[in-house]
Amino acid sequence: MSALSFPFNVYLAAFASAFATTLLTLPLWRKWCLRTGLVDDPGHRKIHDAPIPLAGGLAVLTGLLLPLIAAVILLKLHFWPSAPAAPLAHGFDRREWQIIAILVGAVAITIFGWLDDRHELRPLPKFAGQLLIALLLAAAGVRITLFVPNIFFSYAVTALWLLTVINAFNFMDNMNGLCAGLGVIGAGCFGALAAADGQYLVALIALLACGALLGFLPHNFPQARAFLGDSGSHLTGYLLAVLAILPHFYTAQHPRRLAVLTPLVVLAIPLLDLAWVVLLRRRMGKPFYVGDTNHLSHRLVRAGLSRTTAVLLIWLAAAALGALVQVAG
């Protein structure tokens, strides 16, 4: 299907429904977190002076799942408008197991993050859980190949990519709005690229993720009434890692040079921040998973910017990289 033949209002409906679902359900999740004690208490390296509910991940997952489930039900009951119904039904049928694996993975990574929020899991169980989810996706066919016809290579690269991006976004969850905002920008870029190539199902998933994450931001930036928590930062990283795998960046319509670099450019800021802090912690003799204040955002604040300005500047840089990819395509 060409980029122009798929109805734009379906893309808009996916984005708007996910945005509204997250925005409206977050207060309910916030109350649940306060009632159950799922909060981030004040303490070392934290600027808030009262417990903040870790409700963001649960709300974003809700914003992703409910519109998608509703769309599938409408398709199955033949209540969907006729124009996009046939291609959507075909897309869901063709990639049914991949979509199921992606959704199961999203729920699983959110649960792992929730357990980490609740019990502060040790690094090994967290990495083991992330690895299992990555292997589930690879087994369902959501894999990176890099044009190497070797199944073991594909599984290994896919697992490495998932682990890297999940933890990169987890590391970026260090200031209000930073992680979720980068997720919005990244998902929006992948959605625009997929839509331009007529990859409508990938574009819809990306726009669902973009809308769900954007619906969280009013509750988190610039002042936080809720945090993503590890459940939300892990989910954000997972979604962006998957969205970087799903599209075909090199197509007959758009034979992009260096297409394999597209996800690296879109996600350059969280990936470079991860590489920087890991190398720095190794030089300092610290475990790479022990948090500190050497991230890009912290360095901008130490340079004299306010936290809000630092976050906005990083968002701007990420959006500029995303725009560069769109223009280059």
Q: H or E element: which one contains 26?
A: helix 8-36
- On whether the CB atoms of residues 168 and 278 are closer than 8 A, the answer is no
Q: pLDDT-derived band of residue 277, with 50, 70 and 90 as boundaries?
A: very high
> Where is mean pLDDT largest: 48-62, 151-165, 188-202, 275-289?
151-165
Q: H or E element: which one contains 185?
A: helix 178-196
**What is the torsional sign of CA 22, 128, 246, 248?**
positive
> What is the spatial distance between Cα 178 and Cα 278, in angstroms, rounded to a whole number?
19
> Where is mean pLDDT largest: 117-126, 191-200, 235-244?
235-244
Average pLDDT over residues 228-247: 94
- On whether the CB atoms of residues 170 and 277 are closer than 8 A, the answer is no
AA identity, residue 175: M
CA distances from 191 to 53, 198, 200 (A): 30, 10, 9
> What is the spatial distance between Cα 226 and Cα 239, in angstroms, rounded to a whole number?
20
Beta bridge partners of 53: 39
Burial class (CB in 10 A: 0-12, 13-18, 19+), 228: buried
Q: Quick one: how far is CA 75 from the chain centroid?
A: 26
Q: Between vectors from CA 140 to CA 235 and to CA 170, what angle results, nearest 5°?
A: 20
- Phi, psi torsion values for 166, nearest 5 degrees: -60, -45
Task: Tell me if the pTM is above 0.75.
Answer: yes
DSSP secondary structure letter of residue 250 = B
AA identity, residue 232: G
- Give the burial string for 142-151 (b: 16+ CB within 10 Å, else e): bbbeeeeeee
pLDDT single digits (tens) 152-169:
999 999 999 999 999 999
- On whether the CB atoms of residues 242 and 263 are closer than 8 A, the answer is no
Beta bridge partners of 52: 40
Q: pLDDT-derived band of residue 96, with 50, 70 and 90 as boundaries?
A: confident
pLDDT at 209: 97
Cα Rg for the chain, rounded, in angstroms?
A: 19
- On whether the CB atoms of residues 172 and 273 are closer than 8 A, the answer is yes
- Phi, psi torsion values for 284, nearest 5 degrees: -85, -5
User: CB 309: neighbour CB atoms within 10 A?
Assistant: 13
Q: pLDDT-derived band of residue 85, with 50, 70 and 90 as boundaries?
A: low
Number of residues assigned to the chain: 329
Residue 232's Cβ-side half-sphere holds a number of Cα atoms within 13 Å equal to 37
Cβ contacts of 62 within 8 Å, gap of 6 or more: 21, 22, 25, 29, 212
pLDDT at 108: 96
Tokens, residue 148? 């190497």
Q: pLDDT-derived band of residue 1, with 50, 70 and 90 as boundaries?
A: very low
